[in-house]
Structures are given as C-alpha cells and as structure tokens.
Chain A
Amino acid sequence: MGEYESESVFEVPIGPQHPALKEPAMFMFKVDGEYVVDVDANVNYNHRGMEKAAESRTYIQNLYLMERVCGICSFTHQLCFSQGVEQLLEVEAPPRAQYIRVIIGELERIHSHLLWLGVAAHEIGFDTLFYYVWRDREIVLDLLETISGNRQNYAMSTIGGVRRDITDEQTHKAFKSLKILEERTKFYQNMIPRERTILKRGVGVGVLKPADAIALCAAGPTLRMTGVKSDVRFNDPYQAYGEIPWNVVTYDTGDVVGQVMVRVGEVLEAVNISRYALQHLPTGPIRRKVPRSVPSNETVSKTEAPRGENIHYGRSNGTDKPDRWKVRAPTLANIPAVSKMLTGGYIADIPIVLAGIDPCFSCTARVAFVDVEKNKRWFWSQEELRRYGIKWYGG
C-alpha cells in the first residue's frame, strides 16, 4: 500500500476531543471513500503491567491478580494459572475439583457468550434482542452467585483444587436453571438464521477463510466459524474434559452469522457439559494441600476461554513467587485475523466485524481514520461508529 503522507490534515470535529491532540486509538483505519483499505491495531490502552506485577506476588496472591486479566472470562485465567502451578508442582487436583472446575468454566462460557450475543445485537441496532438475552443471562449469573458468591470474579479455583464445593441444593437449582437456558437458547438458535436484521448485517460480512485463519493463528469461535475443528478442550483436554462426552461446534460460512451460530451452539454444548458433570460429580475432597514454594521448573498451561485458546507460560525458581508468568489472552490471537476481515469491507461493517471476534476491549476505546484520497484524518468513538453502521444499513 505504501506510506501515506498527509501534507494537509483536516480535523473533522466529531466527538469531544481537542482537534490537535494526538491520542491513542485502538485501531487506525486507512479508508478510501466507504472502503477500508488497511488496518493498524494497537492494544496499549489497557496495558497495566500484570506480567511484571506477577513476579512480585506470591502464587496465592497471583490467583486474584490473574482473575482480573479480564472480568468476563476471569475464571478461565484463574484456572489456567492454578493448573499451571499444579503442573510446576507435578500434582493434579482431586477428581471432584476437576469436575467443579469444568462446571464453573462452562457456566462462565454461557454467561460470556450470552453477553456477547446481546452486545452484538446492540451493535447492529437490534436492542430488543440485547435486552432479551441479557435477561436470560441473569439466570446463569444467579446460579454462579449461588455457587461462588459473586456474579463475576468467582475466586473458585485455587492451587490444588477449588475453594468451594457444590451442594446438592445448588445442583438441584442448577438443573432447573440449565433447562430454562437451554430452551431460551434453542429459541435464539432457530430465530437468528431467519431474522432479517441479522442476515442483512451478517451474511457475507467480515469473511475469514480457513487458510487465512490458520496462517494468522486465530483461535476460538473466530477460528471455528471458518470450519476449522480446533478447541483446547478437544485437542489438549484438561481437567475433566477428557472424560465428558461433548462436541466441538463449528460453522462453515466464515462470516458474522458464523460467529453468532458457533457461540449459540457452544452455549447449548456448555449446558450439556455442565449437566453431565453435575450428574457425574465424583465424591471426595475438593482440594489437596500443596507447598508454598515451587521447585525450579517451567510449564505451559492452556485452557479454552470463551474467546478462544488461552495460554500461560510459567517458570518457577524454588521460591513462593514465580520467576516469570507470561499470559496470552485469546483476543490478541484474533487481532491479525480481524484486521484481515475488515480490509476491503465497508466502514459501516467495522462495529459488527470487530464485535464478531468478541474482543476484550475497553468500552471507551476510540478508532482513528485516515482517508487516503482526501487526506482527512479523524477520530470516532465506538458509539459513533456503531450509529454510523446502523444508519448506513438503513436502520
């Protein structure tokens, strides 16, 4: 594409920013009229320095830091960390703990995917669906609160097992809740492929081919919606996943509709997995004792977060603090893929295609545009971009 030098830059006064200010923008789009010709991503807005912080906290303290890498998939990070430390210690959590971890992980997947479905609906102006789905999501949040004490950041996983057990009464409530969730999700699964608003904004939009998805190292539903059958729970089973019958959900359109259908399908699978795990919960302890200090070792721990493959690389040095703890959350893996999906598409499609990878972004992130033909440069908030998309499609 070459380097674009804007000799004269016009600031289009949109939004509450000072015109001459150079502000960090999450994405910079080079556009030509209505088309995106190039995408540059920058993920620094949310950099907190957690990997450095992990080195000065004990393993126990890090349990609570790791939970907050992302609030929506907090359990999966805490699990990945706990699992990693157990691997360094060369121990395994007791069977009952492993099943409980699977249950919490799947309930989190349900909450995360329903959250996403509501947000995606909101992006295309379909607010009714947003309110319906978030109402249903309250069912799984209530269940998680009953079991763990909190709606987010459950603090359930610890090194050596889980911190709380699931009682018979909670199990009973869980079966009821899962049944309702299943009915509602089946309704969405039937409705969505027929709903005109979704089809208009979704079919053939943000297309990703399987070969590109693989070359760009995409992960999770973004990869699976191109037809590639790849899931950490399947390829590299962890905790009790190896003992539980379940199906990897893929779709083959590689577009926004694919993103939706994979996640809706995964909610139904998560209901099945949770139900099976609750029915087959082994007896026994929920936690084993582990030493505070971890002998020198290194490990790779992986889980399947709702957004995709999660990897933690950990290194211990004989003390009670890690020498190094590297975290790669799934959204980063999908940035190259989403850049590819956006290039060649309409500006109006940006909000839904970005939302399609279920990004763990700050909600107030801004995007920058450079019109290469007219030499214009401007910023938009995500809200402005969302409204532009809805208006453009005649909403």
Chain B
Amino acid sequence: MAEAIIDKLRGNIGAENVLEVKYPMARRIFVLVKPETFKLAVSYLVNELNFKHLTTISGVDLGEEFEVIYHLNDDTNELSLKVRTPKSSPRVPTITDIVPGAALYEREIHDMFGIVPEGHPKLTKVMLPDDWPEGVYPLRKEWTIEKIRAKLDGKEEKKKDG
C-alpha cells in the first residue's frame, strides 16, 4: 500500500524527481524529491492522496545543505517528504496556501536554521525572543552551545553598559 502511494507520486511529478524512497516500518514512508517539484508533490499528496494533516516540519543540518522534512499524514501513514536546500542560500517555498496549519512550523525552521519560507504571510519569530541576535541559528551545527552563550553574554554585557 505504501508502495502504491509512491508509485502514484512518481506518476504525478515524474519518476526522475523522486530521488530516494524508504519504507523502514509499517506506516512509515520517507521520500526525497527534487526541489523544483517539491511544491507539486505537496499539492498532490495533500489534495489528491488525502495527506491533509501536516504533523510538523523538521530541519536537519547536513553540513553544506539542509534537509527540510515535511511530515504528512493521511490518517494511517506518516509520509516524511524531504527536500534539500543549500546552506549558502537556504529557502523553500511556503506551503501555507495548501496547508494553512504549516504557518508556525515554517516560522520555526526559520528561527532555528535560517531557512526562508518564501511567500510566508507573516514571518516573525516564533521560538526565539524578539531581541535574539541576527544570524544566530541555534540548530546549525556550527553554532555550538558555547558559541551561542558567548554571543548572548556578549550582547548582554553591551546592554548593561548601554
């Protein structure tokens, strides 16, 4: 049944755009698609294949690029749809026009990784305080806890003096 879902997806966005597929256990599918066809894939899965529930969006720092994972659910299967974007210019198209409930999760990956959800209706901070220093993305591997703390403490020293 899981294979049938992926076959349909291949049929819709083109088999060459479906890069990696895994079925690690019952009711779990992982699929990586090419960035150009990502939004088509979301639209097809949500509108045609009933994956109406977006459980959450996860970001992973792979080093040179990010992997953004959209966990979609059709009331049985949890399909994790992955797309990659380079760290030098990380962006994904917003999917809030297809799934309104994506709004907070897109703000979250923006706060934590600096991935820009292009077209998001209101991109303000959701997890981090408003006075968080620019450019500090806590879940990027290069921002270690010590580095983040040093940056925050440095900033606070300035605040005390100023």
Residues of A near any B CB (own CB < 8 A): 24, 40-44, 47, 49, 51-53, 56, 87, 214-218, 230, 235-236, 297-300, 302, 309, 311, 313, 315, 323-324, 326, 328, 332-333, 335-336
Contact = CB atoms under 8 A, between A and B. Distances in A.
Nearest to A235: B75
Given A47-B129, A235-B76, A333-B56, 19 more contacts: A40-B124, A43-B126, A44-B125, A52-B138, A52-B145, A216-B101, A217-B55, A217-B99, A236-B78, A298-B24, A300-B71, A300-B80, A313-B71, A315-B60, A324-B58, A324-B60, A328-B105, A332-B104, A336-B104
Contacts of A302: 55, 78
Contacts of B61: 324
B56 A311 contact: yes
A24 B52 CA distance: 33
Given A235-B76, A300-B78, A311-B55, A24 B130 contact: yes
Nearest to B59: A326
A328 B128 contact: no
Nearest to A329: B56
B54 interface: yes
Interface stretch (B4-12, B25-33, B37-45, B86-94): B25-33
Interface of B: 24-25, 27-28, 30, 52-56, 58-61, 69, 71, 73, 75-76, 78, 80, 99-105, 112, 124-130, 138-139, 145, 148
B32 to A, nearest CB: 11
28 contacts: A24-B129, A40-B124, A42-B126, A44-B125, A47-B128, A49-B138, A49-B145, A51-B112, A51-B139, A52-B148, A215-B100, A235-B73, A235-B75, A235-B76, A298-B24, A299-B28, A300-B28, A300-B71, A311-B56, A311-B71, A324-B58, A324-B60, A326-B59, A333-B55, A333-B101, A336-B100, A336-B101, A336-B104
Nearest to B138: A52
Majority DSSP secondary structure for residues of B touching A: mixed
A311 B58 CA distance: 10
Contacts, number: 96
A52 B78 CA distance: 24
Contact of B80 (A49, A216, A313): A313
Nearest to A297: B24
Contacts of A332: 56, 104
Contacts of B99: 215, 217
Contact of B76 (A215, A236, A315): A236
A309 B129 contact: no
Contact of A335 (B56, B58, B100, B104): B104
A230 B76 CA distance: 10
A44 B28 contact: no
Contact of B101 (A87, A217, A326): A217
A211 to B, nearest CB: 10
A310 B56 CA distance: 10
Given A44-B125, A44-B127, A313 B27 contact: no
Nearest to B99: A217
**Nearest 6 CB-CB pairings of A with B:** A217-B101, A328-B56, A326-B58, A216-B101, A313-B58, A311-B55
Contact of A44 (B60, B126, B139): B126
B139 to A, nearest CB: 6
Contacts of B30: 298
A44 B58 contact: no
B22 to A, nearest CB: 8
A311 B145 CA distance: 24
A52 B53 contact: no
